[in-house]
Amino acid sequence: GAKDSSCSEYNPTGRNSYSRGTTMRTEDERLTGRIYLAGHRGMVGSAIGRRLARTDGVELITRTHAELDLTDQAAVNGFFAATRPDHVILAAARVGGIWANDHYPAEFIYQNLMMEANVIHAAHRAGVKRLLLLGSSCIYPRLAPQPMAEEALLTGPLELTNEPYAIAKIAGIKLCESYNRQYGTDFRSVMPTNLYGPGDNFDLEHSHVIPALLRKLHEAREQQSPRVEIWGTGTPRREFLHVDDMAEASLHVMRLPLENLQAHTQPRLSHVNIGTGRDVSIRELAELIAGIVDYRGELKYDTSKPDGTPQKLLDVSRLGALGWQARIDLPEGLKQTYTWFLDNQSFIRS
Ligand code: GFB
């Protein structure tokens, strides 16, 4: 692998996986066998599950929250010992929008830390061949230079509305890297930008901005309300990725031959950003959604609500070099998500 020499200083045991393999292969490896998909009912997990269900040679293992509590270490160890998966995709997480992050900081840090620590440690003990951790672009400093490259990690203070969640996700990256360095595991991590799409949470307090605005503007049109409140000033900029693109990108990174991934990462800087490379202001987003749902009333900015970080745009050149780019553009993805919302209104999570 291209990074063989650079990893030796991190490899006191000589067991580092970064010294495996000598030939550079460019084609994807087949990801087959028993795959445990944690969080298969969430927006991202269900999108990944839809793709894996169509893949030959994959035996998908899932457990509902009621069947397996990932914050319970003994339960997680028992599950791994009994099922012995070949691969693990860790898409389970406690997630939410700016309000939920701000109001449930203890749950966001505790549950995410516990799930990551339990699953990653159990995967190591069970000899899992490959693991993929899903993180978030909020791991980067609040005022990181835009677009944010992987190297921006741990270079400055975090956005306070989601600091506890971000700390848990940073710990997840470092768990993966530490097990790789000490035990030679192949635990990877991807950091998606803000996601949206079918299966999202449309609860008005807990959701992210896209499902919230689709619902608020749809209901305002139905009820002929003269105005709709948009949180904050409308000036923050966000990058949005459709969850089907995220699922594809996750599986792309998961399937990369290790040597390929190593050629573009380092043992202590191993995560890969996943995004579109384009952002919009919240005002532009609100106007776009108003057009899609055909709402013609006033958009009123409630500046007593937080803006959060001023801009969150990922540098996706590492991902591009690894051979993937987003396909679904924002207007198309929003229209498709609105159709999904209309078709599923009776049983959307709320
Ligand atoms: O999507 P959102 O909650 O996530 O908010 P963050 C994005 C922006 O949209 C903020 C504004 O500036 C909000 O103030 N906004 C306007 C709204 N109207 C609304 C509304 O009705 N609902 C919501 N939710 N926002 C979260 C983090 O940050 O995003 C997490 O807290 C995570 O840690 C996640 O990283 C992706 O981008 O601000």
Quick check: 316 and 277 in contact, CB under 8 A?
A: yes
What is the C-alpha to C-alpha distance for residues 291 and 172, in angstroms, rounded to an integer?
Answer: 39
Does residue 305's CB lie within 6 angstroms of at least one atom of ligand 1? yes
How much is the average pLDDT of 188-204? 96
Question: In this model, does residue 187 exceed pLDDT 50?
Answer: yes
**What are the structure tokens assigned to 212, written together?**
């919230």
| Tokens of residue 296, six digits | 């013609």
**Predicted confidence band at 236 (pLDDT cuts at 50, 70, 90)?**
very high
Q: Kindly state if the Cβ of 16 falls inside 6 Å of ligand 1.
A: no
How far is it, in rounded angstroms, from Cα 255 to Cα 233? Answer: 41
Confidence at residue 126, expressed as pLDDT on a 0 to 100 scale: 98
78-100: average pLDDT: 97
Q: What angle do CA 38, 39, 41 make, to 5 degrees?
A: 135
Whether ligand 1 lies within 6 angstroms of the CB of 100 is answered as: no
Instruction: State pLDDT tens for residues 133-167.
Output: 999 999 999 999 999 999 999 999 999 999 999 99
Task: Please state, in angstroms and as integers, the Cα–Cα distance from residue 14 to each residue in 2, 8, 18, 235, following that order.
Answer: 17, 8, 10, 50
Q: Indicate whether 113 pLDDT > 80.
A: yes
Q: For 259-307, what is each residue's pLDDT tens digit?
A: 999 999 999 999 999 999 999 999 999 999 999 999 999 999 999 999 9
Return d(Cα 6, Cα 334) in angstroms, integer. 43
Q: Which atom of ligand 1 is nearest to the CA of 166?
A: 33
Mean pLDDT of 29-46: 94
Does 238 sit in the ligand 1 pocket, CB within 6 Å?
A: yes
| Band of pLDDT at residue 80, cut at 50, 70 and 90 | very high
To test the pocket of ligand 1, the residue of 209, 284, 285, 307 to mutate (highest count of ligand atoms within 8 Å of its CB) is 209
pLDDT (0 to 100) of residue 10? 37
| Beta carbon of 112 within 6 Å of any ligand 1 atom | no
Ligand 1 pocket, 118 CB below 6 A?
no
Q: What does the pLDDT read at residue 193?
A: 98
**27 or 227: which leads in pLDDT:** 227
Alpha-carbon span 7 to 269, nearest angstrom: 11
Q: Please give the distance, rounded to the nearest whole angstrom, from the Cα atom of residue 231 to the centre of ligand 1.
A: 9
Q: What is the pLDDT of residue 4?
A: 37
Beta-sheet pairing, 280-281 with 237-238: antiparallel
- The alpha carbon of 195 and the centre of ligand 1 are apart by a number of angstroms equal to 11
Asked if the model's pLDDT at residue 348 lies above 90, the reply is no
> Which residues does the annotation mark as catalytic?
165
Which residue of 44, 95, 98 sits with most ligand 1 atoms within 8 Å of its CB, as the best mutation to test the pocket? 98
Q: Is 147 in the pocket of ligand 1 (CB under 6 A)?
A: no
Ligand 1 midpoint to CA 74 (Å): 35
- Model confidence at 346, pLDDT cuts 50, 70, 90, reads confident
Strands in the chain per DSSP E: 33-38, 58-61, 87-90, 130-134, 187-192, 194-196, 227-231, 237-238, 240-242, 272-274, 280-281, 298-302, 311-312
Three-state secondary-structure class, residue 234: coil
Looking from the CA of residue 238, the nearest atom of ligand 1 is 37
